A and B are shown apart, each in its own frame.
Chain A
Amino acid sequence: MTTGTVATEGVRLVYRRFSAFHRFNHYLVMTSFFGLVLTGLPLKFKDSYFSQQLMNAIGGVEAAGFIHRTSAVLNILYFVLEAGYMAWYVAARKGPIFSDDSIVPGKKDWQDMKGMFRWFFGRGPKPALNRFTYWEKFDYWALFAGTVLIGGSGLMMWFPEATTRILPGVTLNVALVIHSNEAFLATGVIFIFVHFFSAHGRPESFPADQVIFSGYLPVEHYVHERPLEYENRLKDGTLDQVVTLAPSPQRRRMFGWITAAVTVFAFLAATYTFLLIIWPLVF
């Protein structure tokens, strides 16, 4: 056990899970998503008291539109970067595509999900999870696919004249329906139910998983969270590719503050969004 012996010598080791590129993309999609939701949802739920308040706070519909479009550009940038990375990954054969530790869903995910459900109801042990769990893959691909739908329909409505020069005007009706429904769905999945809970809210990472902000995870957590990846890497002897020395205390403190700030903001934004949606249903 390499890690065990090293850890006892008093050296702090970390598992590097995300590269600077992936972290940058998460920052990008995170900020733009907040911007999009907070300026878009008030339009969908215009009768909500909180919508009016939010619009006034932002500085009116025109300002909200500007923020929405700016965030949309950033969101599209995320999509272009991620798609470019995918293409490069495949073209340059940077790594496995259809193996169990890639982001592409496979048979293992289906088995993991069944195993997790058995575990939920006390009918079996917790399955040994690999590098990416099935809920992380769902998050990743749902966001990617959602960006195509929401981004595509949003661009159509941003440039309605150009769109209707090629397509009939009723396309914009369809675009509006897709944009509005998909955006609400994405907000629900990210803010309220799936992403915030499954990626950040689990006991291992509560209240926020720092790994996506700093890129690293203490090795002890890694062994506990991704037992299968750890085991495989131990077998293949590739553990040294991902395990490195911990960053300096200053950097660690900086990442701690970033995570804390994002967490507080995300919590407030999610609460506000929840109230905004619930308000017209209650009153």
Chain B
Amino acid sequence: MGATRSGRSWEPALGRRAALVVLMAALLTLALGGSAWALDPEGCLICHGDPNFTDPTPEPNGPTSLYVDPEAFSGSVHGSNACSSCHRGYVLTIPQHQLDASKDFRQVAIEACESCHSDAFMAYQTSTHARLYYQDEAGPICISCHGSHEIRQVRLGAETADFKMSMAQDSCGRCHQDKFEKAKHEFHFKALSLGYERAATCFDCHGFHENLALKSGEAETVQQCRKCHPGATEGFTYFQMHLEEGFENAWWGVRAVYLFFSTLLIVVLVTGIAYTTVHMQKETRMILGVFGRGLGRLFGFIRALEEESVRSRGPGNEGQSGLPDGDQTGGRDEKDGGEV
């Protein structure tokens, strides 16, 4: 609005230019996809739907992208909402929005979510995530896990295994990668990755918004386990989760049993393979047959060379002892060859 007061001379020109830009962009968008206008009654995507649309304010890490993927947004659970239902306090002026700089955008975001999802917000308020956010504003807020424009459709109790898995990997695992890497080897996740949608993922135990820490032996933990295992007692919670593949971080008893049985496995299998190979070779002469024949030829060739060298040295010196030796090996070779 400040622009109107600053001078009459260019005011119509700006208005006309802006109108032209809007019109052309609108025509272009309509030509590209007629449905876009229906989803975007305020026309925000005319500019924000352009992948190269950036904030011109100089930033140390290069320009900030202001792009919103129209398809991702229309496919999201908020796809039919207007942009302004979340983005409040913006005055729609083009080319630059008038921002209320006194408010942090994260606070704006939380307030926007809270206005519809007050239950989730109340649950979040008690969580470790919220405590971190209120401490130094670095902790995760709603959009850190849920995403902003591509919020996915979730029907509680009807999640697919793929969705649960990707939530664990992309939402929780983005910050808790170490936990996710360990949980992957755990049977809940194994079942999940094979398509069992009832198997627990992160939020089934830790809660959606409460993100409980869940220590063994606590009443809260028993409560969470009972959601799937109704008969769980305190002892149940001493099952160790998030273990490494080699059980390095497990109770020493688990690791000892693991090392014992892994050793047993290797010893028995290697012995078994070796024994079976030898037994089969004796019974069928198949396994080492080709190889054995090759060895026989090699020995024959060496013997021929030896004989040759003995002969060239002439009779008298060591020839007597060398020749019968050669004959002996030759005899054994032939026997081996015959067996093969």
The answer on a CB contact under 8 Å between B238 and A161 is no
Name the residue on A nearest B247 (C-beta): A177
Closest CB-CB distance, A169 to chain B, in whole Å?
A: 3
Interface presence of B85 (CB below 8 A): no
Pair B269/A169 contact, Cβ less than 8 Å: no
Contact A173 B283, beta carbon cutoff 8 Å: no
Q: Is there contact, CB below 8 Å, between B276 and A173?
A: no
A181-B265, A198-B276 known; A55+B239 contact, CB < 8 A: no
Interface string of B223-265 (1 = CB under 8 A from A): 0000001111101111110010001001101100110011011
Contact across chains for B272 and A193 when beta carbons are under 8 A apart: yes
CA distance A47 to B281 in the complex (A): 35
Cβ of B268 within 8 Å of any chain A Cβ, yes or no, is: yes
For A52, list chain B residues within 8 Å (CB): 194-195
Q: Which of B196, B251, B262 has the most CB of A within 10 A?
A: B196
Beta-carbon contacts under 8 Å, A146-192 to B = 160-162, 164-170, 172-174, 176-178, 181-182, 184-185, 188-189
B216 sits at the interface (CB 8 A):
yes
Residue in contact with B273 in the complex, picked from A172, A184, A193, CB distance below 8 Å = A193
In whole angstroms, how far apart are the Cα atoms of A56 and B196 in the complex? 11
- In the complex the two chains form, is B231's CB within 8 Å of A43's CB? no
Whole-angstrom CA separation of A119 from B261 in the bound complex: 32
* A46 interfacial contact with B, CB 8 Å: yes
Residue of A nearest to B267 (CB): A185
Q: Is the CB of B311 closer than 8 A to any CB of chain A?
A: no
- Chain A residues with Cβ below 8 Å from B191 are 43, 61
- Cβ contact within 8 Å between A197 and B254: no
Report the minimum CB–CB distance from B223 to chain A (whole Å).
14
Cβ contacts under 8 Å, A160 to chain B: 229, 236, 239
Task: Collect the chain A residues with CB atoms within 8 Å of residue B279's CB.
Answer: 116, 120, 197-198, 202
Contact A170 B272 (CB under 8 A): no
Complex Cα distance, B253 from A160, in Å, reads 19
Query: Which residue from chain B places its CB closest to the CB of A189 in the assembled complex?
Result: B272
For the complex, give the distance between the alpha carbons of A116 and B253 in Å. Answer: 39
Given A177-B257, A197-B276, A62 and B236 contact (CB-CB distance below 8 Å): no
- Contact B261 A173, beta carbon cutoff 8 Å: no
Instruction: For B185, give the chain A residue with the smallest CB separation.
Output: A46
Known A174-B254, A188-B272; contact A61-B239, beta-carbon cutoff 8 A: no
Kindly state the separation between the CA atoms of A189 and B267 in the bound complex, as whole angstroms. Answer: 12
Query: Would B269 and A188 count as touching, CB distance under 8 A?
Result: yes
| A42 at interface, CB cutoff 8 A | yes
> How far is A138 from B296 in the complex, measured between Cα atoms in Å?
36
Tell me whether A189 and B268 are in contact in the complex, defined as CB-CB below 8 angstroms, given that A46-B190, A160-B236, A174-B257 are known contacts.
yes
Question: By the criterion CB–CB under 8 Å, are B251 and A170 in contact?
Answer: yes
Query: Complex formed: what's the CA distance from A172 to B280 in Å?
Result: 40
Query: A160–B238 Cα gap in the complex (Å)?
Result: 12
Residues of A within 8 A of B264 (CB): 181, 185
Q: CA separation between A150 and B275, bound complex, in Å?
A: 25
Partner of A164, one of B194, B239, B262, B282: B239
Nearest B residue (CB) for A201: B280
Residues of A within 8 A of B251 (CB): 170, 173
Contact indicator A174/B253 (Cβ below 8 Å): yes
State whether B216 touches A169 (Cβ < 8 A). Answer: yes
A168 contacts across to B, CB distance below 8 A: 235, 238
A164-B233, A178-B257 known; A62 and B196 CB under 8 Å?
yes
**Chain A contacts for B187, CB-based, 8 A:** 43, 176
Q: Contact at B258–A177, with CB atoms within 8 Å?
A: yes
Is B278 an interface position by the 8 A CB rule?
yes
CB contact between B196 and one of A60, A166, A167, A177 (< 8 Å): that residue: A60
Which residues of the partner chain A approach B229 to less than 8 Å between Cβ atoms? Answer: 160-161
Contact B276 A169 (CB under 8 A): no
B193 CB within 8 Å of chain A = yes
Q: Distance in Å from the Cβ of A155 to the closest Cβ of chain B?
A: 15
- A71 CB-CB contact with B under 8 Å: no
Q: Which residues of A contact B282 (CB under 8 A)?
A: 119-120
Chain B residues with CB under 8 A of A189: 268-269, 272
B98, CB-defined interface residue at 8 Å: no
B115: interface (CB < 8 Å): no
Say yes or no: is B284 at the interface (Cβ < 8 Å to chain A): yes
| Most chain A beta-carbon contacts within 10 A, residue among B194, B229, B236, B284 | B194
A181-B253 in contact (CB<8A): no
Residues of A within 8 A of B261 (CB): 177-178, 181-182, 185
B239 and A161 contacting across the interface, CB-CB below 8 Å: no
* Residues on A with beta carbons closer than 8 Å to the beta carbon of B240: 169-170, 173
Bound state CA distance, A166 and B216, in angstroms?
A: 16
Instruction: Tell me if A172 and B284 are in contact (CB < 8 A).
Output: no
Besides A56-B195, A181-B262, 11 more A-B contacts (Cβ < 8 Å) are: A60-B196, A160-B229, A160-B239, A164-B235, A168-B238, A172-B239, A173-B239, A181-B258, A188-B265, A197-B276, A201-B280
Which residues does A use to contact B, with CB under 8 Å? 42-43, 46-47, 51-52, 55-56, 60-62, 116, 119-120, 160-162, 164-170, 172-174, 176-178, 181-182, 184-185, 188-189, 193-194, 197-198, 201-203
Provide a sorted-by-A list of 15 A–B residue pairs whose CB atoms are within 8 angstroms: A43-B187, A46-B194, A55-B195, A56-B195, A60-B195, A162-B231, A164-B235, A167-B235, A173-B254, A174-B257, A181-B258, A185-B265, A188-B265, A193-B269, A194-B276
Which A-B residue pairs are the 4 nearest by beta carbons? A161-B231, A169-B238, A61-B196, A169-B239
